[in-house]
Amino acid sequence: MSVAEDRRFMGAALRLSGWHLGMTKDNPSVGCVIVKDGVILGAAVTALGGRPHAETQALDVAGEAARGATAYVTLEPCSHFGHTPPCANALVAAGVARVVACLPDPDPRVSGRGVAILRNAGIQVDVGLMQDEARRALGAYLTRRTSRRPQVTLKLAISADGMLGRRGEEVMITGPLARAQVHVLRAESDAILVGIGTALADDPELTVRLPGMGGRSPIRIVLDRRLELPITSNLVRSARQVPVIVASVGDTAAEAQPERQLRRDALANSGVEVLEKESLTELLHVLADREISSLFVEGGATVAAAFFADGLADRIILSQGPVEIGEGGLESPLTPSNMPADFALIRAERYGPDLCYEYERSI
């Protein structure tokens, strides 16, 4: 099989893997395509909730025809017995002749073992095709596995002159197409985070409001050191439908503790979980331990700057609208012209009148 053909089928597997981003719990959203004589016999993505895995589903579709076929998988097939037998064994049993994978699985229960099972059975295994694309597609899973924290995406909407808005005044910076795009990014994330400033100013709901995607709303987190999120806010009032976490990060010793206890109890009684942590890093460890692999940080400037200062930003998305704010504007900590050197532009798209830039930390 030619390299061009390999890339074509792996490209299909990578696109499939994107379908269930944010919906596979602690399992990665993996794509698998089974091919023989240039024909796709079976294709699948990790099921909702994380099981069954892509390989076993694709093999089921291919059936007997999988014998002698090539399996394209975006990540090394698993080798550990969980609720079901490992995918590496399923590929052996199905009699595939060759397995192509983009990356080894950093999960210590798998790493290299999946490949070894296949090779020991006489299957040709090629690892490393389209690695960069796979690192991008599996970025959330890989970050949680290797750094015990979710992959963090910072999103900022900035004006043509690099401002976030004007203090005390709502300014619509981007149009409906760019805002719909934000809802897609929310849906692909396990959790979404804003600062208390944004929560108080905008009273957002932070749910996914695209037709047919309402069930994909991620956990909502408010960074709120003094527990100021009002009980009457849209977030708190919907906490029993879509979970809300109020995260108090930093030193709170100087605060009046009885009042703090009252606010903590009021939030808890409304169905909000209160997490109190020393640092952002510690908060992210807790989230990672709860199988949150991707965190979408939606403003504002203070929160973005805090994540950035702690070296906790992996991706940055800037939506730039055509409006100019001018005098009295709030300057964005990040703009296309001051992006740090270790962040590379990987995507630039136009949504109506708005430009969207996506940067990622060099990999």
Shortest distance, CB of residue 363 to Zn ion, whole angstroms? 24
**Binding of Zn ion at residue 87 (CB under 5 A)?**
yes
**Binding of Zn ion at residue 263 (CB under 5 A)?**
no
The yes-or-no answer on residue 55 being catalytic is yes
Residues 6+ apart with CB under 8 A from 241: none
Q: Which is nearer to Zn ion, 89 or 198 (CB)?
A: 89
Q: Which is nearer to Zn ion, 10 or 78 (CB)?
A: 78
Count of residues that interact with Zn ion, criterion CB under 5 A: 3
Exposure on the CB side of residue 337, measured as CA atoms within 13 A: 8
Shortest distance, CB of residue 78 to Zn ion, whole angstroms? 3
Considering only residues 61 through 80, tell me which ones interact with Zn ion, judged by CB under 5 A.
Answer: 78
CB atoms within 10 A of CB 100: 24
Shortest distance, CB of residue 60 to Zn ion, whole angstroms? 13
- Dihedral (Cα; 303, 308, 313, 316), 10-degree rounding: 80
CB atoms within 10 A of CB 198: 20
Shortest distance, CB of residue 56 to Zn ion, whole angstroms? 7
Q: How far apart are CA 94 and CA 355, in angstroms?
A: 47
Before 52, cis peptide (omega within 30)?
yes
**Binding of Zn ion at residue 53 (CB under 5 A)?**
yes
Residues 6+ apart with CB under 8 A from 214: 207, 208
Annotated active-site residue in 55, 76, 358, 360:
55
Considering only residues 323 through 342, tell me which ones interact with Zn ion, judged by CB under 5 A.
Answer: none
Binding mask 8-47 for Zn ion (x = CB under 5 A): ----------------------------------------
Sign of dihedral through CA atoms 213, 214, 217, 220? positive
Q: Which is nearer to Zn ion, 51 or 166 (CB)?
A: 51
CA 167 remoteness from chain centre: 30
Shortest distance, CB of residue 85 to Zn ion, whole angstroms? 9
Please give the positions annotated as active site: 55
- Chain positions contacting Zn ion, by CB under 5 A: 53, 78, 87
